Structure 1
Amino acid sequence: MSTVPSDLIGRRIAGYRLEREIGRGGMARVYRAEDLRLGRTVAVKILAPELARNDLFRKRFEHESRIAASIDHPHIVPVFEAGEAEGVLFIAMRFVHGRDLRALLDREGPLPLDRTARIVTQVASALDAAHAHNLVHRDVKPGNILVAEGTDSEHPEHIYLTDFGLTKKSLSLTGFTTVGQFVGTLDYVAPEQIAGRPVDGRCDVYGLACVVHEMLTGRPPFERDDDMALLWAHLNDPPEPAVGHGAAVDEVLVRALAKDPQARYPSCAGFVAALRTAGLAARVAAPAPTQVVTEPPPPPPPPAWAAPVYGPGPRV
């Protein structure tokens, strides 16, 4: 397995001084860093040295990093620079003050449907913008969705999608890649990725639907005891229902999680629009709470000292 050296804190990589580690994965680590040229704080992702020695990967990394840097979108973390230095591949991005969706779900648990829709609307916009540039994310998961403070009470969160241009395959990269390389996180991976088939933007529709299911229920749509069983479930099993959100919401998720990409929503925005409509329908169809009318309790009997006034009979 690829590994990143753990002793990089304090090192200078291509004009960035690495200050502290803020995230890690199997092939990369992310550091808060100082941009020594402009005096600003940035996030720098350092990839494992083994990847820099792979000519095919390096070409794809450089190509997709350029595409990612060219996308100007309010919900995609801006890429400042990407390249190779000191024998490693790096990518410098905006440092986002906040936390990722994984931390939010771990802290708060399942989210209401309206808040879920508000968050994933921004994610869907970012994904569709990438697809318009022939870039497929392929690893949509809570850890790649950053939640920053919003502008006002109507927009309490500003969402950023991150981790473009690192290990993904562009739709236009047939000259650089071979079909069959698996990239993704098992809880959110589309069947066509598992099978090694070509992917397009509907792969990200599937991943986003897995994230939505977890946001609504506290768990991904498939939970199994081992990785092979989980992969089999993505390929063959129906997803768990999103209990408590109504049949219309379940129908939307089932379509977005279809095994056949052609049966899914053609865009992430289309999926989220259907989710919002289903949520609204569920609220309209919900029965009004039943009002129970009860008779007031009878008055207590008079005290003994008042018997001469009220007499022995019941009070009225």
Structure 2
Amino acid sequence: MERIPDRSGPHDGLPFPPGLHIADYELESEIGRGRTGVVYRAKDLRLDRTLVLKVLRPGLGRNETFRRRLAHDHRITAAIDHPHIVPIFEAGEADGSVYIAMRYIAAPNLRELLDRYGAIPVAGALRIAGQVASALDSAHEHGVVHGDVSPGNILVVSSADEERPQYAYLTDFGIGIRALTENFTCTGPYADTLHYVAPEQISGQPENRATDLYALACVVYEAIAGDPVFPRAGDTALMAAHEHDEPPPLSQRSPWIPPQADDVMRTALAKTPDDRYDSCGEFVERLGAAVGGPEGLPI
């Protein structure tokens, strides 16, 4: 069995090579990476099943406060039986590596779909948003804040069902923006999540359900418009826009959006958390009604 290599180099030894064993899991291939760690397709050697194993970056694993928060959030999240939350099997540690084992879902994430196709139809965007909103509201009822809602953390399964052609899963609970141990300045593939960071996260205020609502509104805006709310060059300018700039009206970015939807987005993207909607579901319902009439669009 190949041992976990020394991680004293500039990249902390990540990503690990295929064939490596972490606890009772064998890594098969890398399927993604982000600010907090690297995601692998892996085999559960005990139950002979394929799953996803996320291995956190060593710097996070050495932070005791983060480890306690991670363990707490994942115990609660694992107990949430929600159809749009990726089930968590286990969160543990082996040979200094902190890992999270989750169900394997063979589907692209929303980031990949937006990069490939651009803006998606309004009805589809709201359908996905409604499913994610339901997942977030359920988590909030259990006292869990996601903290990093972004297109990369939303898996989208295509379906032959004409009434529900997309089925969304939300993943990566408990290892969001709060996982940063130094500052918000990111580079490379990690900088993308700054497009969805709420003003209170930048200023270091406590996160709550309104934080996730802000991020979800940013995701929905981009899914419909094809571009982020604040397309700024550089982390500093982007964070300043989240803290101080008014969001451009969505109706000016998309010809399919009536002006009455701009008020909904403005409330969801309010700088002060208390000025936003009370729940993610309320936001999506109001946006659907503004776009599709009194009965809204199917979600």
TM-score (structure 2 length as normaliser): 0.86
Residue 5 (structure 2) aligns with: none
Which whole-Å CA distance do the structure 1 matches of 2:295 and 2:57 have between them?
49
**Paired residue for 1:117, among 111, 115, 126?**
126
Residue 25 (structure 2) aligns with: 16
Residue 209 (structure 1) aligns with: 217
Structure 2, unmatched stretches of 5+, are 1-9, 186-190
How many residues of Structure 1 are paired with residues of Structure 2 in the alignment? 276
Rate the CA distance shift 1:156–1:103 in 2: closer, same or farther, 3 A.
Answer: same
**Paired residue for 2:208, among 200, 203, 222?**
200
Residue 292 (structure 2) aligns with: 280
Deviations 1:174-223 (A, max 9, x none): xxx9x997699210110111111112101111000100110111111111
Tell me the secondary structure at the aligned position of residue 281 of structure 2. Answer: helix
Partners of 2:85 and 2:171 within 8 A in 1: yes
Partners of 2:177 and 2:201 within 8 A in 1: no
Deviation at 1:282, TM superposition (A): 9.8
Residue 251 (structure 1) aligns with: 263
Rate the CA distance shift 1:168–1:131 in 2: closer, same or farther, 3 A.
Answer: farther
Which whole-Å CA distance do the structure 1 matches of 2:134 and 2:217 have between them?
14
Rate the CA distance shift 1:249–1:180 in 2: closer, same or farther, 3 A.
Answer: farther
Tell me the secondary structure at the aligned position of residue 42 of structure 1. Answer: strand
Which whole-Å CA distance do the structure 2 matches of 1:149 and 1:83 have between them?
32
Tell me the secondary structure at the aligned position of residue 152 of structure 1. Answer: coil
Deviation at 1:168, TM superposition (A): 6.2
Residue 96 in 1 paired to residue 105 in 2? Answer: yes
Larger Rg: 1
Rate the CA distance shift 1:4–1:187 in 2: closer, same or farther, 3 A.
Answer: farther
Tell me the secondary structure at the aligned position of residue 32 of structure 2. Answer: strand
Which whole-Å CA distance do the structure 2 matches of 1:238 and 1:61 have between them?
33
Which whole-Å CA distance do the structure 2 matches of 1:122 and 1:114 have between them?
12
- Cα RMSD (Å): 2.3
Counterpart of 2:278, as a letter, is P
Residue 105 (structure 1) aligns with: 114
Deviation at 1:260, TM superposition (A): 1.0
The share of aligned pairs that are identical, in percent, is: 50
Deviation at 1:3, TM superposition (A): 4.3
Which whole-Å CA distance do the structure 2 matches of 1:283 and 1:129 have between them?
23
Residue 144 (structure 2) aligns with: 135
Partners of 2:147 and 2:173 within 8 A in 1: no
Which whole-Å CA distance do the structure 2 matches of 1:3 and 1:201 have between them?
33
Residue 164 (structure 2) aligns with: 155
Which whole-Å CA distance do the structure 2 matches of 1:3 and 1:23 have between them?
17
TM-score (structure 1 length as normaliser): 0.82
Residue 77 in 1 paired to residue 86 in 2? Answer: yes
Partners of 1:248 and 1:281 within 8 A in 2: no
Deviation at 1:110, TM superposition (A): 0.9
Deviation at 1:58, TM superposition (A): 1.6
Which whole-Å CA distance do the structure 2 matches of 1:167 and 1:211 have between them?
15
Counterpart of 1:31, as a letter, is Y
Q: Bigger shift: 143-152 or 226-235?
A: 143-152
Which whole-Å CA distance do the structure 2 matches of 1:270 and 1:139 have between them?
20
Structure 1, unmatched stretches of 5+, are 170-176, 285-316
Residue 294 (structure 1) aligns with: none
